[in-house]
Structure 1
Amino acid sequence: MSDRPVIAVVQPHLGLLVPQLSQHYDMIALWEEKDPPRLAEVSALIMAGEFRLPPELIDQMPKLGLIACFTVGYDGVDVAAVRARGIQVCHAHDANHEDVADHAIGMILAQRRAIVAGDRMVRAGEWKRGAKMITGSLDGARIGIVGLGSIGAAVARRAEVMRMETRWWGPNPKPDAAWPRVDTLEELAAWSDILVVAARAHHDNEKMISAAVIDALGPEGLLVNVARGQVVNEDALIAALRDGRLGAAALDVYAQEPTPAERWADVPNTILTPHTGGATDAAVRRMKEMLLANLTAFYAGEPLPTPVP
């Protein structure tokens, strides 16, 4: 048996990490593992933080000392519970917030300027001489941001340059914020032409974008979600889009991922992307660098460079 540390990778889409890490560690790909007793030797676990980490999996790893979220998010980990077992948790702190903000702005442009609809029109041969598609300007548009963390602030900076008026809401005031905070989420939705959800998901804010918030945004409003699917009441969102009580939605995240295609087949005025907001080459490179740094520090008995808060 190798005397190298044993590390397990949870999700198949993180399999790209295995060849590089195999140079220094004994790697286990859980989706291929045929020898469950090997799990008892695992000292570090690598995962995508948006997926729930089952406690029964941790129970099979008595030597586990580190849960390394390759991603920025870590909402799939019960941090308090695993820390109570002496397990450290790290993540890719601020690795992709600028990229996610770019994606949010791109989705706003795609919907407001009908870029996707225009593409389809040209390809379908429906562009008629003399006809002109009139789309929505962003000049003076009111954008409300839910959660003024790294992503929310990055969206606000871009919106300001694009001549939009910005306000925000979050549970905790930020006296140094450059943009005004409104008192309630519903008040922000009622004020906004565009509502961007950029809040970190946790057990207290599930479905906080409720039917009431969606109705407050209204039939001319656009809801953009680049946070987590569970912070939006997806059933209420779909019903409002079908009924015309909400103008449009641009979504990168969903209650279930992958989201079933048939769920959206007859839902109008939507732009959908497959949770790619932060998945850029530069962001993945930074995530790899942070992961390697955290693993090196953990096995050297040094403080983790990017522990979860």
Structure 2
Amino acid sequence: MAKPDVLVLAKNIPLILDELPQFCTLHKLYEETDKDAFIAANKEKIQAIVTSYNVGAKADLISSLPNLKIICCFGVGVDAIDLGKAKELGIPVTNTPGVLTEDTADTALALLLTTLRKACAADRFVRSKSWSKNDFPLATSLSVGGKKAGIVGLGDIGKAVAKRIEAFGSTICYQGPREKPEVPYKYFPTVEALAKEVDFLVLTCPGGAATFHIVNRPVLDALGPNGFVINVARGSVVDEKELVQALVEKRIAGAGLDVFESEPKVPEELLSMDNVVLFPHIGSATIETRSNMARLMMDNLRAHFDGKPLLTQVQ
């Protein structure tokens, strides 16, 4: 039996180049100089797309492959995939939830602690030999003073973040599309109402149209000059221009960011700010988690071609 043809849109996915060829014929679109010509020449035989959370799959590509049967995403976020077009054509989409929850929550906590305690600035302070000349400025405590954490998006990752922050003695509040009676945290119907109540916002919600720029100027003003923003969700969730302006004008105290609106481009103003910590979208970037994500994605692909139920189909 001939191996199914798989179009790979994203490079640097662990295990893919080693293991997928065992049961698939790979076509690496990212290596093609003339991508349109390649698609035109090979569109009839492509049965699957392998992509990532940041590359996605646009409607025109999905429509151009008449024998496409499945789209497998390396990552939880599928906002870069045209789910409407996939649904219209009856093409299932899978992602990799669950396996990256703990590491992403760890990243949120790392950003929170690093931002509040000015860890990166403190490191630079020592390396520049400033310690012998000056005292390092005071930071903000996570454990002292009855802090309140506001989590936007209380899914698996949001709950894992809440568990970690609770260990520091902070009170948890949250906002999302619906209240969850099963959790012991106070619910707020809007992000602005949540921001007024808390000392820092931790963003763990999905990207996409429903959450586009939900952290905007009114939210930042509600958070106030002692508040912090921590984002491990999607860059699109925050109005980046307003965030930069709020930081410049000191209308909020600081930010810890793992994601940006136009990755890998980062606003120039942020690069020189000591009250901002910047990560290069590494929420799930550990050897263990990325390997588990790749394994789950391949298991979905294999299940499809073996005629078995998909493990993690996006609904």
Alignment TM-score, normalising by the size of structure 2: 0.92
- The correspondence of residues 153-302 of structure 1 with structure 2, limited to 5 A, is 153-260=159-266, 262=268, 264-267=270-273, 269-302=275-308
Q: Which residue of 2 aligns with 1:58?
A: 62
Contact 2:62 2:85 in 1 (8 A): no
CA distance in 2 between counterparts of 1:166 and 1:54 reads 38
Amino acid at match of 2:99: A
- 1:118 is matched with which residue? 122
Quick check: 1:14 aligned with 2:18? no
Count of aligned pairs: 308
Contact 1:241 1:268 in 2 (8 A): no
Q: Does 1:138 align with 2:158?
A: no
In 2, Cα distance between the equivalents of 1:182 and 1:87? Answer: 36
Q: Name stretches of at least 5 consecutive residues in structure 1 with no aligned partner.
A: none
Secondary structure of residue in 1 paired with 2:193 = helix
8 Å contact 2:14–2:290 — kept in the other structure? no
Structure 2: how far apart are the matches of 1:61 and 1:132? 59
* Residue identity matched to 1:113: R
Confirm or deny that 1:70 pairs with 2:74: yes
Deviation at 1:129, TM superposition (A): 7.1
- Using the TM superposition, give the Cα deviation of residue 88 of structure 1 relative to its aligned residue in structure 2, in angstroms: 0.9
Unmatched tracts of structure 2, length 5 or more:
none
Q: CA deviation at 1:133?
A: 4.4
Structure of higher RCO (CA pairs closer than 8 Å, 6+ residues apart): 2
**AA of the residue aligned to 2:27:** I
Superposition deviation, residue 132 in structure 1: 5.5
Equivalent-residue separation in structure 2 for 1:294 and 1:130 (angstroms): 57
| Cα deviation code 1:219-254 (max 9, x no counterpart) | 111100100000111110011111111110110011
- Relative distance call for 1:277 and 1:130 in structure 2 (3 A) is same
For 1:32, give the aligned amino acid: E
Percent identical: 34
CA distance in 2, matches of 1:129, 1:80: 60
Are 1:144 and 1:166, in contact at CA under 8 Å, matched by a contact in 2?
Answer: yes
Q: TM-score, normalised by structure 1?
A: 0.94
Counterparts in 2 of 1:218 and 1:62: CA distance versus 1, 3 Å: same
Q: Distance in 2 between matches of 1:119 and 1:284?
A: 29
CA contact (8 A) 1:92 1:290 kept: yes
The CA RMSD over aligned residues, in Å, is: 1.8
